[in-house]
Structures are given as C-alpha cells and as structure tokens.
Amino acid sequence: MRYNHVIVHYGEIGVKGKNRDFFEVKLAENIKSVLGTSFSKVWRLMGRIDCELVEDYDYDLVCDRLSKVPGVVHFIFALKSDFSMDDIKNKTAKLLEGVEFSTFKVSTRRSNKSFNKKSSEINVEIGDFIYDNFGQKKVQMKNPDVTLYVDVCDKAIFVYSQKILGVGGLPVGTSGKVVSSLSGGIDSPVSSFLLAKRGCKNVFVHIFNNTIEGEKVLSKIYSLTEQLTKFQIHSKLYIVPFSEIQKAIIGIVPGKYRMIIYRRFMMRILNRVAKRDDAKAIVTGDSVGQVASQTLDNITCIYDAAKIPVLNPLIGMNKEEIVTIAKNIGTYEISIIPYPDCCSFMIPASPETNGSLDKINEIESLIENIDDLVNKSIELATIKIFEI
C-alpha cells in the first residue's frame, strides 16, 4: 500500500496555554528535518501535524525516523479522501485490499461538524461496505483483527488502519540545552535520551584517556552519539583529554579518594562546556547506590563542584529498568561492548563510599592550578558534529 499522508499526533503539547504554537512549530520543524526529502508539505491541523508524502518515499525510513521524534505520541500512514462517502469507500477498499482478517470495526472521529453525516452514520455505512465487499466479515468491537479509522478534519478526511507509537514528551529544542556526560556505559545514554524526551538539546561530553585502546573507545562513543542523534537530529560531541588531570590526581590523592576527586574534576569540565555552549544544566547517569561513587555522601561531595543544576533522570531507577530503556532506544548493544574506563586504573578495590566534603576539600587543596588543568583540557578538546 502506498499511502499519501502521514499524520502525527501529539499529547502533552495539546494542554499548553498561550505558548502552544511555540511547541507545535518546533515539532513541525523537527519532523521536517527527520523526513528529509520524503515529504512535499508539512502543516499543522487541529491537534495534529499532517505530512504529505512524495510518491517515492521510503516507508521504513519514515516509520523509523518518526518513531524517534520526541513530542510524537503516535503517527499514522493514511489515505486522504474527499468529503464524500464514495471516496471514503474507495480509500477503504484500497487500504483493505489483500489484507487477511476475519473481524473488524470502524471508528470515526468527526472534528468537522459541517460534514453531512454523523460519526455513527459513517461507521454504519462504511461497516456495511466492508461487509458487502470483503466476504461478509464479522463486526467485533473489542480486539478486532482490523480497525478502520476515519478522521473527518476541517480540510480533509483521512482513512487509515494502524497507529504507530512514538516516544511522546516534548519536542527537542523547547526546553533549552544541557551538557550530558557520555561515559560509554549503559546509563549515560539513557539519561541523555530521557532529557531529549523532555525537550532538552544534549551537548555530549566524553572524558577521554588516550590509551592503546583509545580508538576503540572513541568508535564506541561515536556510535552512541550517532544513535542518540536519531532522537535530537543534531548533536555536538566534545572529546576532552584527561591524562594530565589523572597524573595530577595520582601524584597527590590517596587511592581511596581518587574516584571522588576524579568526578569533581569531571563536574568542572562539564561546567566549562556548559558555559561555552550556553547550557543550563548538567546531566549524569547516576542512580542512588548503584556504584561506590553514587552513595548519597559521595554524590554530595561530587556535585559540590558543579556551578549549575545537575539533573539525574535515573536517580531512582533499578538497573533492570535502565537496561529496558537502553534496549528500546537502541543503545544497549553498543554500551555493552567492552572498553577500558578512563579512570579504572586509578581506583582501588575499596574506594571511599562515605566521603566527607571537608576531607575532600582538604585533599583537593593540595592539587595546584586546578583551574589551569581544567582549562587546558577544554582547550585540547576535539569537537565532532553529528547530523541525522
């Protein structure tokens, strides 16, 4: 079946007040960006966005890309009909041609009250048409094999039979920028996705140690960024070298405290990137108690180094919940590729789990030129741009 329209439905945007237009316009812009050359026109209707498809569009491509656009609750591939029952029947016949089914129902929504038939009348007439022309199939109101939808809108009628789920939330770009730490593990890509789903544009930062495995690590980070870009269309990735900071920490900080000091330096780096890119918050993949750095005491010590809000969308999630999201968004298989963590060799078997901020400040005061170390790392950072 070659459909000629795809209709995008949103949810949360519909309850916005005077700034609803702002969200709708941004969602329409994002849809245009992901569809590329697959559409000829995109315009806003009441409560939805209509995309007119070109004749040679790629169904799988359009489906895959729209399913990853934050703000989209569901979308439908539809046939556009004239305001006549004959044409609705014609489009119904095209939709059901070759489809195997035993039971069906017709569901009409009529926002255009000027149409000369009520929803119930359309349901009956189209139901009779299906019964007469497709082998006297049985009407079944609950869980039928096929549901034939008829949407009578202001400027057109759309006929379709399937709704495809999107990710929901708000359009990326409506909630400002955030700086997201991208470690290469399972958690950080999920936290980045969840912020994109709330309308935030992620600027990714990977803290990098140039070891003999460095190229493999970067390949993994690039793959994760490419996958996450499918949800936010355009991404910037900072690769920030950490070797000099590691040397300074190892030379002064006792082993049990290195993890906390490392994370504090990471916060400083993220702060600098946020200031540079006009981001309003830092995003981490922390979950309370999951690892030694994520006890409440250690989180207190680490976040003390942040100058802007630190957002933790995974903070109360179990690992199983995080893994489920990672699999759903396509980052899990990339995240489980083995890689050496940039600070793994500097952490002892039993790191401090109940850090004291006074003690951490005391130890950190022994490290000279902290600001210079952070600034130099930022100056040496490489930046890579990703587009969908």
> With a cut of 70, which residues of the chain have pLDDT below it?
211-213, 339-349
CATH assignment of 177-387?
Answer: 3.40.50.620
- 42 strand-pairing partners: 51
What's the pLDDT at 355? 85
CB–CB of 332/387 below 8 Å? no
HSE-up of residue 354 (Cα within 13 Å, Cβ side)? 0
What's the pLDDT at 18? 86
CATH class (in words) of the domain with range 5-165: alpha beta
- The structure tokens 């399913």 sit at 67
* Rounded-to-integer distance, Cα 324 and Cα 318, Å: 10
What's the pLDDT at 260? 94
What's the pLDDT at 338? 83
Closest of 189, 269, 281 to residue 229, by C-alpha: 189
**Amino acid identity, position 90:** N
* For the chain, domain boundaries: 5-165, 177-387
What's the pLDDT at 215? 81
Q: What is the DSSP letter of 73?
A: S
What's the pLDDT at 154? 85
What's the pLDDT at 36? 93
CB atoms within 10 A of CB 160: 21
Q: H-helix or E-strand containing 207?
A: strand 201-208
* Rounded-to-integer distance, Cα 123 and Cα 111, Å: 15
What's the pLDDT at 351? 78
- 5-165 and 177-387 agree in CATH topology: no
**pLDDT tens for each residue of 156-211:** 899 999 999 999 999 999 999 999 999 999 999 999 999 999 999 999 999 998 76
What's the pLDDT at 345? 52
